[in-house]
Amino acid sequence: DAGVTQSPTHLIKTRGQHVTLRCSPISGHKSVSWYQQVLGQGPQFIFQYYEKEERGRGNFPDRFSARQFPNYSSELNVNALLLGDSALYLCASSLLAGGEAFFGQGTRLTVV
């Protein structure tokens, strides 16, 4: 069975640009969450979506947005990139909101 898949695996962007990260949850999972992990720290919650509705939002600026599609896949969008947005972006899926979360391998974003 395929786990959580994220694309791309690595990405380099310039300050001020926009980026879209993609996530496909485990088959049957309806909840997708996004986390940002800065080097040397634990993941920080950005968003959670369940059944295509936003269920939670972390302390991130409005430059960060996300959505979930009818097939439960999800996109994370970040506008006006800053150097500080450089991080590993993790997607996690769970069967139910608040259930056991399974993480993908992440997208390594570097902003230069």
Partner 1 sequence: GESVGLHLPTLSVQEGDNSIINCAYSNSASDYFIWYKQESGKGPQFIIDIRSNMDKRQGQRVTVLLNKTVKHLSLQIAATQPGDSAVYFCAENGFGNEKLTFGTGTRLTIIP
Q: Which residues bind partner 1 (CB under 8 A)?
A: 4, 33, 35, 40-45, 48, 50, 55-56, 58, 90, 92, 97-98, 100-106
Nearer to partner 1 by C-beta: 81 or 101? 101
- To partner 1, the closest distance from the beta carbon of 15 in angstroms equals 25
Question: Are 93 and 6 a contacting pair, CB within 8 Å?
Answer: no
Question: Are 34 and 89 a contacting pair, CB within 8 Å?
Answer: yes
- To partner 1, the closest distance from the beta carbon of 66 in angstroms equals 13
